């Protein structure tokens, strides 16, 4: 059993999701009696392997489970993959995989580029670390989910404006559902991102007072990018709320959610590629791949 679990690699579930994405992408081109079963099989197998992989890492890592940037991205992609599976089973008449699976695969790609080394931890900061990471994770998943809903809203609205029947194999959820999802995720993303940022400040203060970790300066790239992201998400949530009773609110929120996703993507790329003191133990300053 141990050999089996330790043998599961990122490639296993990434390949499964890729096959599922291929099946989704082929829907508009031809019909098949077995595609649904193949799609569900690969998506479920990928999710199962993904779960085992994360479980195995949580059980075998020395630090708090899933605390490295690598694990963090994989956990975010796992949540989105789970959401995709749930949507596929709960509402099989609509096809959302074409939009959700690329995000899942993108996060897995980001994980591959990130450090697998866990952040240095101490019992004193562990709780704040978990809170900080969890809020940031929730914000990122909400932004990604909102962007997928927003993109689908724009495509569905374009079809309805052009007065065309749905394309074979690309039946999207209703505008009502997509608009509700975008609106709610905008609020959730803003609140959780703000909470994540605030808990990060507390964590930093605790570290500084106790000399446990290198203090992250205000001009650190991670602080800047997270600050920008939080600022944007809060502005987007305020705009979304203020437009609620206007007839063009849904379209504006859809665009806002896409911009939020671009800001998040830029923030992740900045984090993956840039140097930081975020999560660095006390000692000489070194370039370090950042956590989100």
Partner 1 sequence: MTLAFVGGTHRTVPLPLRERLAFSAEQAAEALERFRLRFPGREAVLLSTCNRVELYAAGEEAATPPPAEQLVSFLAECRGIDASLLAPVLARESDEAVVRHLFSVASGLDSMVLGEPQIVSQVKQAWALAQRTETTGPLTGGMFQAALRTAKRVASETALGRERLSIPSVAVADFARGVFETFDDKRVLVIGAGKMAHETLRYLREAGASDIVVVNRTADRADRLAGRLGGRPGRFADLVTELAAADLVVSTTGASEPVVTTDLFARAELDRGGRPLVVLDLALPRDFDPAIGTRPGVWLYSIDDLGAACEANRRRRQRELPAAVAIVDEETRRFMGDLHHRTTAPVIERLRAGWTETGDAELERLFRRLPGLDESTRAEIRQAFERYTAKMLHSPLTSLRNESRSGPPHGLLEALKRLFDLKE
Q: Which residues bind partner 1 (CB under 8 A)?
A: 31-33, 156, 159-161, 163-166, 168, 172-177, 244-251
In terms of CB distance, is 127 or 160 closer to partner 1? 160
Phi, psi of 96 (to 5 degrees): -110, -10
Nearer CB in complex with partner 1: 68/181: 181
Least Å distance between CB 160 and partner 1? 5
CB of residue 87 to partner 1, shortest distance in Å = 13
Minimal distance, residue 169 CB to partner 1, in Å? 9
Q: Which is nearer to partner 1, 59 or 165 (CB)?
A: 165
Query: Helix count (H) and strand count (E) of the chain?
Result: 9, 0
Q: Which is nearer to partner 1, 3 or 248 (CB)?
A: 248
DSSP assigned state of 114: S
> Could you tell me how many residues make up the chain?
292
CB of 174 to partner 1, least distance (A): 4
Q: Report how far apart, in Å, the C-alpha atoms of 90 and of each of 6, 147, 281 are.
A: 32, 20, 46
Between 58 and 175, whose beta carbon lies closer to partner 1? 175
Q: Of 53, 113, 115, which Cα lies nearest the Cα of 78?
A: 53
CB neighbour list of residue 226: distance below 8 Å, 6 or more residues apart = 136, 193, 196, 197, 200, 267
Which one, 176 or 266, has the nearer CB to partner 1? 176
Minimum separation from the CB atom of position 47 to partner 1 (A): 25
What's the N-to-C CA distance of the chain in angstroms?
A: 33
The one-character DSSP state at 91 is: -
User: How near is the Cβ of 86 to partner 1 at its closest, in Å?
Assistant: 16
Task: Name every residue whose Cβ is closer than 8 Å to that of residue 105 and which is 6 or more positions away in sequence.
Answer: 14, 17, 18, 21, 77
């Amino acid at each position: 059993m141990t050999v089996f679990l330790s043998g599961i690699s990122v490639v296993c579930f990434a390949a499964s999701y890729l096959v599922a994405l291929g099946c989704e992408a082929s829907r508009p081109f031809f019909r098949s009696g077995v595609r649904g079963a193949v799609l569900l099989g690969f998506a479920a197998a990928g999710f199962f392997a993904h779960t085992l992989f994360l479980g195995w890492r949580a059980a075998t890592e020395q630090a708090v489970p899933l605390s490295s940037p690598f694990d963090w991205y994989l956990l975010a992609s796992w949540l989105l993959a789970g959401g995709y599976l749930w949507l596929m089973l709960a509402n099989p008449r609509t096809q959302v995989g074409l939009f959700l699976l690329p995000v899942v695969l993108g996060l897995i790609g980001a994980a591959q580029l990130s450090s697998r080394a866990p952040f240095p931890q101490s019992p004193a900061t562990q709780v704040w670390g978990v809170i900080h990471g969890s809020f940031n994770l929730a914000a990122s998943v909400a932004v990604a989910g909102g962007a997928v809903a927003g993109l689908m809203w724009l495509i569905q609205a374009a079809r309805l404006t052009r007065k065309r029947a749905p394309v074979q194999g690309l039946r999207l959820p209703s505008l009502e559902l997509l608009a509700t999802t975008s609106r709610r995720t905008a609020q959730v993303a803003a609140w959780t991102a703000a909470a994540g940022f605030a808990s990060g400040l507390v964590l930093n203060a605790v570290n500084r007072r106790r000399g446990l970790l290198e203090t992250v300066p205000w001009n650190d790239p991670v602080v800047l990018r997270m600050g920008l992201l939080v600022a944007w998400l809060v502005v987007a949530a305020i705009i979304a709320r203020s437009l609620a009773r206007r007839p063009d609110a849904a379209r504006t929120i859809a665009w806002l959610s896409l911009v939020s996703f671009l800001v998040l993507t830029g923030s992740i790329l900045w984090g993956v590629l840039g140097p930081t003191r975020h999560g660095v133990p006390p000692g000489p300053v070194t370039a370090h791949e950042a956590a989100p």
